[in-house]
Structure 1
């Protein structure tokens, strides 16, 4: 497959995953995508000139406002930033040995609580759907699958949460109002 075909395939996997969330009633108006100019500016803020196709597509869907999908994380064009990248790199320094080959050019794609960072290895930025790594401030580094696999897991969770709300309602149990708000019920 050519590079362009790989990029189109990766972007399509992301769009198809998000469509699954919409089909079960996830309220798409709760998220807002970023433009390519905004995405490139965000990456440049981390000293990175390439955003992999799969992650670019995630950002096109929810890069300006993604909290309804990535609640509790720093995500999108308003961050992670250069300072966040420094914290992730510090976690890698504590790790000693790890499989990330180009630390200087890695891209931090999300951060949670100042201690957990999802990153793409700088050596993999030209890949259409590269591996994602979790870097902990403690120095633990863990492979998390590809960008599309990670996004598909997030969508699986959105689908499962909707079903839990349906089940809770059927059983007469109280529901989390924020969770219920994220979905259409018509």
Structure 2
């Protein structure tokens, strides 16, 4: 399931961007001692739970870095395998059912990939129609029906990284 059918240059660019975001956080002061990434086998199991035929390169790389224990990323929501079950996906699909007619951005719900959970009231997912894109658009959806589009997985990851930086800043101020 690795990167079949994906353009090599786009895959390389997506992986480089994921690492740039992560490396920037480490340089900023994020403690990586608790972070544990997921193996490809674990990522593929998560994809199977969600009935997903492919995992975009950028998603796979984020999970390789922080997919088992995201460490400080936990403050920015759950970007880990344990939170991305088929049960959570069913709930997220119910969020989509609450959207006004004609406003659902997902064309292939059955194969959509849920990549994030925040307090069981917000989620981020990728349209099943976009899974072959190495760095596809991400849709953030709330239980109340709010929808926000992010241009890519890497843009979404960078946005979550800002939350982590804010927490690092807060910790620094607190310890002064």
Q: TM-score range by the shorter chain?
A: 0.7 to 0.9
1:70 and 2:61 correspond: no
Pairwise CA distance, 1:87: 0.8
1:91 and 2:92 correspond: no
Q: Which sections of structure 1, spanning at least 5 residues, go unmatched?
A: 171-186
Matches within 5 A, 1:106-121: 106-121=112-127
Pairwise CA distance, 1:25: 2.0
Matched-pair contact (CA < 8 Å) for 1:108–1:118: yes
1:130 and 2:148 correspond: no
Instruction: Count residues with an aligned counterpart.
Output: 169
1:155 counterpart (150, 161, 168): 161
Matched-pair contact (CA < 8 Å) for 1:91–1:140: no
Aligned residues: CA RMSD: 1.9
Q: Write out per-residue CA displacement over residues 120-163 of structure 1, whole angstroms, 9 at most, x where no aligned residue.
A: 11111111111111122233322133110111122233334434
Q: Which sections of structure 2, spanning at least 5 residues, go unmatched?
A: 1-5
- Is the partner of 2:82 in helix, strand or coil? coil
Pairwise CA distance, 1:115: 1.9
For residues 46 and 68 of structure 2, the distance between their equivalents in structure 1, rounded to whole angstroms, comes to: 11
Matched-pair contact (CA < 8 Å) for 1:92–1:141: no
Q: Flag the 1:159–1:79 CA change in 2: closer, same or farther, 3 A.
A: closer
Matched-pair contact (CA < 8 Å) for 2:72–2:164: no
Q: Flag the 1:71–1:81 CA change in 2: closer, same or farther, 3 A.
A: same
Moved more, 141-150 or 152-161: 152-161
Q: Given the two structures, how large is their TM-score scaled by the length of structure 2?
A: 0.86
Q: Given the two structures, how large is their TM-score scaled by the length of structure 1?
A: 0.82
Alignment correspondent of 2:15:
11
Matched-pair contact (CA < 8 Å) for 1:42–1:79: no
Q: Flag the 1:51–1:69 CA change in 2: closer, same or farther, 3 A.
A: same
Point out the structure with max Rg over C-alpha: 1
